Amino acid sequence: MKNIFKLILGSFLLTGLWSCEKEENRITYLGGTAPVLSTTASAPIVLRKEDRDNIGLVLNWTNPNYRFTTGVSSQDVTYLLQVDTVGGNFSSPNKQELAIAKDLGVRMTVKDINTVLSKMELRAGVAYNMQMRVISRLINATVPLTSNTITVRITPYLDFAVEPPGTEAGGYNDAGLWALGDAFASGWSNPMLAPFNTSQRFRRADVLLYVLDDVTFNASGFYKLIQTQGVWGTQYRPAPTSVANVDPMAGEFEKRDADPGFRSPGAGRYRIEMNFQTGKYKLTRL
C-alpha cells in the first residue's frame, strides 16, 4: 500500500513540475506598434507614359516591433499595401492590394502606379484622390497591425490590357467595333449587310469600354469582333486557344486574327461589354 502511495505521490510531483516548466516556457504575445506610413509625394502626381520607367512614388513605414515574452519577434514580418479611392475606405470592389516581403518601404515606378490605377478601372487623364495604407502581419497573416491612411492625388495615363479599336496616332478614336458570325442572324458576311451593320455595332462608352446594349443570339454558333468592315486582320477573339475553354458569359480576350471565336450563350437577347482596360468581356442576359 505504501509503495502504491509513493508511486502516486511521485507521479503527482512530476506532473506538477512539468506543468510549471510548461507555464514558464510559454511564449506570450505582448503587443506591437502599428506602422506609420509616409510618402515623399508633396504635390499631385501626373503620370506620363514616356516616364513609365522612372520612380513615381516612394512609400516608407516604421517597424511594428512585435513583442513577445522572449523579446522582439525574430519572425519574418510581411506587409500588405492597400490602395483605394477616397470614399472607398478600402472596401470597394476595385481596391488593389500589393504584397511586400520584409522591406520597410517600396519604390514604385510610374508604370507600377499606373497599372494599379488601371486595374481599378480609373479613367486616363482624370485626377483621383487615392487612399493608401499598410497592414503588417506575422506568419500566416496573423496579428495584423494597420497603419495610418495617407492620401495622394494621382492622374493616370491611358493604358490597357488589350489595345482598343483604332490607332494610337488617332487617339483610338478612329475605328468602330462590330460583332459578326453564325451566332447571329447576320452570319459571317464581311462587310456586314444592313440592318446588321447597325444593330450589331458596339457603342463606344469610353475609349477603353465598348458596349453592345441589346443583341439577339442564335441558340448556337460563334462570333468574332472586327474593327473595320470587310477586314479580318484586326479582329478580337477569346484568349483561350481551345473552343472548349471559351466561357460564353465572361472571360478574357485578345487582339488576334485566329480561332476560336466567342461562343453563343444561347438563344435570347444579351448585353455585351468589352473592357480593353482589363482585357475582359462580360455578357448579361436581358
Q: What are the chain's domains?
A: 29-155 (2.60.40.10), 178-285 (2.60.40.3620)
Q: Which residues in the chain show pLDDT less than 70? A: 1-25, 27, 70-75, 141
The pLDDT value given to residue 4:
40
Q: What is the pTM of this model?
A: 0.68
Q: Residue 190 in contact with residue 152, Cβ under 8 Å?
A: no
Indicate left, alpha or beta for 181 from its phi (over 0: left) and psi (-120 to 50: alpha): left
Question: What residues form DSSP beta bridges with 251?
Answer: 281
Quote the cell numbers at residue 117: 490605377
- The three three-digit cell numbers of residue 68, written as one number: 513577445
Residue 285 and residue 224: Cα distance in Å, rounded?
19
